[in-house]
Chains A and B, each alone.
Chain A
Amino acid sequence: MRAADFRSPAIGPHSLEHEARLARLWETSPGLKGFLGTVDHKQIGIRYIVTAFIFLALGGIEALLMRLQLAGPNLSLLTPEQYNELFSTHGMTMIFLYAAPILSGFSNYLWPLLLGSRDMAFPRLNALSYWIYLASGIFLYVGFLTGNGPNDGWFNYVPYAARDYNPGLNEDFYSLGMVFLGISTTVGAANFIVTALRARAPGLSLNRLPILVWGTLTASAANLVVVPAVSLAFFMLWLDRQFGTHFFDPAGGGQPLLWQHLFWIFGHPWVYAIVLPAMGMVSQGLPVFCRRPLVGYGSVALSTVATMVLGFGVWVHHMFATGLPGLGLSFFSGASIAIVFPSAVAVFAWLATIWLGRPVITTAFLYFSSMILMFVIGGVSGFMTASVPVDWQLTDTYFVVAHIHYVLIGINVFPVLGAVYYWFPKMTGRMMDERLGRWNFWLTLIGFNLAFLPMHLTGLLGMPRRIYTYPEGMGWDSLNMITTIGSFVLAAGVLLFIFNVLKSLRSGAVADTNPWDAPTLEWSVPSPPPPYNFAVIPTVASRYPLWEGRLGGTGAVSSLDRGMLLESGKETIATSSMDAMPEMIVEMPHDTSAPFVLTIGTALLFIGLLVKTWTLAALGLILLAAAILAWLWPRRELREREARS
Chain B
Amino acid sequence: MIDAAVGQGDRAMDDALQGRSSVLAQPRDLPVGPIGRSGLGLWGVGTLIATEAALFAYLLFAYYYTGAAAPQGWLLEPHPTLRLALPNTIILLVSSGFAWYGETGVLRQRRYRALVGFGLTFVLGTLFAVIQGFEWQQRPFSLGDSSYASLYYITTGLHIAHVLIGLLVLAAIFLWTALDYFSPRRRLSVSAGVIYWHFVDIIWLFIFTTYYITPYLGFGR
Contacts and interface: CB of A to CB of B under 8 A. Distances in A.
A–B touching in complex (CB under 8 Å): yes
A192 B211 CA distance: 36
A480 interface: no
Nearest to B193: A632
B24 interface: yes
A261 B19 contact: no
A628 to B, nearest CB: 9
Contact of B181 (A585, A625, A634): A634
B40 A562 contact: no
B182 A634 contact: yes
B214 to A, nearest CB: 17
Interface string B180-212: 111101100100000000000000000000000
A232 B30 contact: no
A254 interface: yes
Interface-central residue, A9, A122, A246, by most chain B CB under 10 Å: A246
A105 to B, nearest CB: 20
Interface in A219-243: 224-229, 231-232, 236, 239-240, 243
Contacts of A90: none
Interface residues on A, range: 35 or more
A121 B39 CA distance: 10
B31 A584 contact: yes
Given A227-B51, A639-B182, A254 B150 contact: yes
A586 B143 contact: no
A226 B54 contact: yes
B105 to A, nearest CB: 16
Contacts of B51: 186, 189-190, 224-225, 227-228
Interface residues of B, number: 68
Contacts of A584: 30-35, 38-39
Nearest to B10: A581
A205 interface: yes
Interface in A7-35: 7-12
Nearest to B76: A253
Interface stretch (A154-162, A300-308, A456-464, A549-557): A549-557
A202 B40 contact: no
Interface-central residue, B23, B168, B180, by most chain A CB under 10 Å: B23
A500 B34 CA distance: 46
Interface string A533-573: 00000011100000000000111111100111100000101
A582 interface: yes
Nearest to A1: B29
Tell me what chain A mostly uses at the interface: helix, strand, loop, or mixed. Answer: mixed
Interface string B117-160: 00000000000000000000000000111111111011000000
Interface string A200-219: 00110100000000000000
A253 B27 contact: no
A517 interface: no
B66 interface: yes
B106 to A, nearest CB: 12
A587 B32 contact: yes
Given A559-B24, A585-B32, A642-B185, A255 B65 contact: yes
Contact of A253 (B22, B66, B182): B66
Interface string B27-62: 111111111001110011001101110110011011
A194 B186 CA distance: 21
B217 interface: no
Nearest to B43: A194
A225 B23 contact: no
Interface-central residue, B32, B34, B151, by most chain A CB under 10 Å: B32
Contacts of B144: 243-246, 252
Contact of A262 (B23, B52, B62): B62
Interface of A: 2, 4-12, 121-122, 125, 186, 189-190, 193-194, 197-199, 202-203, 205, 224-229, 231-232, 236, 239-240, 243-247, 249, 252-255, 258, 261-262, 265, 539-541, 553-559, 562-565, 571, 573-574, 579, 581-587, 625, 629, 632, 634-636, 638-639, 642
Closest 9 CB pairs of A and B: A554-B19, A190-B47, A245-B150, A556-B19, A559-B24, A244-B144, A228-B55, A253-B147, A254-B147
Given A203-B13, A255-B69, A539-B25, 10 more contacts: A2-B29, A6-B30, A189-B47, A245-B153, A245-B154, A246-B147, A562-B24, A573-B30, A584-B38, A634-B189
Interface of B: 1-4, 6, 9-10, 13, 16-17, 19-20, 22-35, 38-40, 43-44, 47-48, 50-52, 54-55, 58-59, 61-62, 65-66, 69-70, 74, 143-151, 153-154, 168, 172, 176, 180-183, 185-186, 189
